Amino acid sequence: MKALIIVDVQNDFCKNGSLAVPDADSIISLINHKINNDFSVIVMTQDWHPQDHRSFASNNPGQEVFSIGTLDGNPQIMWPDHCIQNTKGAEFHKDLDINFAKIIQKGMDKTVDSYSAFFDNNGKNKTELSDYLKEIGVDEVDICGLALDVCVYYTAMDAIKEGFKTTVFANLTRGIKQEDIDKTYDELLKAGVIIRFD
């Protein structure tokens, strides 16, 4: 059985958001079409950070936004504040069809960032996603959403590690850094992820 994983289509990653991904809003109607036509299992991930998350530049005196610092001993991009729990920015985009979706929240531990829908960035803490999918008989996942070069990438890489046949729909995702997109696709392909451009 196949599931669709929709990664972080939240206000802060869309137009006028604090960490807006270029052209993000253009994929929403396409994702809705997928939701309503092709899948019986839908999962949506939601960045859900506490205000004092240590990946925010504002919580690291002397660190500029997008500079590289450290978090729990590992290199960490210092992000602008985004997807703070119970704020408008953390909500799903108003045009996204979220009916019948299983919601997986991530990034709640202030001491470690969490790009993947399956694990935190240290690989120590696992979300419920893998167990949930396997329990209901899912062995294949299609992935879309935001952003290609961060959370979509890490979710796809961990899906492969968890044993799922994994596809990323290129026309249903957008990246933060356009110059990194080709490199991201190359790494996904090397890991065994299927890339579809239709």
The pLDDT of residue 171:
96
Q: Is 135 exposed, middle or buried (CB count within 10 Å of its CB: 0-12, 13-18, 19+)?
A: exposed
The pLDDT of residue 37:
80
pLDDT (tens digit per residue) in 109-168: 999 999 999 999 998 889 999 999 999 999 999 999 999 999 999 999 999 999 999 999
In this predicted structure, the answer to whether residue 100 has a pLDDT above a threshold of 80 is no
Quick check: is 144 in a domain?
A: yes
Residue 120 C-beta-side C-alpha neighbours within 13 Å: 19
- Binned at pLDDT 50, 70 and 90, residue 79 comes out as very high
Per DSSP, the three-state class of 184 is helix
The domain that contains 42 carries what CATH number? 3.40.50.850
Domain that holds residue 183: 2-49+86-196
The pLDDT of residue 144:
98
Cα–Cα distance for residue pair 173/164, rounded to 1 Å: 20
Nearest to 103 by CA among 46, 164, 154: 46
Q: Which residue has the higher pLDDT, 27 or 38?
A: 27
**Beta strand pairing call for 140-146 and 2-7:** parallel
The pLDDT of residue 40:
84
Whether 167 contacts 195, CB under 8 Å: yes
The pLDDT of residue 124:
83
The pLDDT of residue 101:
84
- Binned at pLDDT 50, 70 and 90, residue 98 comes out as confident
Cα–Cα distance for residue pair 137/3, rounded to 1 Å: 10
Q: Which residues are catalytic?
A: 8, 106, 151
Quick check: is 71 in a domain?
A: no
The pLDDT of residue 120:
95
Quick check: is 72 in a domain?
A: no
Quick check: is 115 in a domain?
A: yes
Whether 133 contacts 3, CB under 8 Å: yes
What's the one-letter identity of residue 5? I
Quick check: is 62 in a domain?
A: no
Whether 122 contacts 64, CB under 8 Å: no
Quick check: is 44 in a domain?
A: yes
Quick check: is 64 in a domain?
A: no
Tokens of 177: 């850094």
Quick check: is 152 in a domain?
A: yes
The pLDDT of residue 179:
81
- Binned at pLDDT 50, 70 and 90, residue 180 comes out as confident
pLDDT (tens digit per residue) in 36-78: 887 889 999 999 999 999 999 999 999 999 999 999 888 999 9
The pLDDT of residue 178:
78
The pLDDT of residue 198:
81
Cα–Cα distance for residue pair 157/174, rounded to 1 Å: 17
- Domain tally for the chain? 1
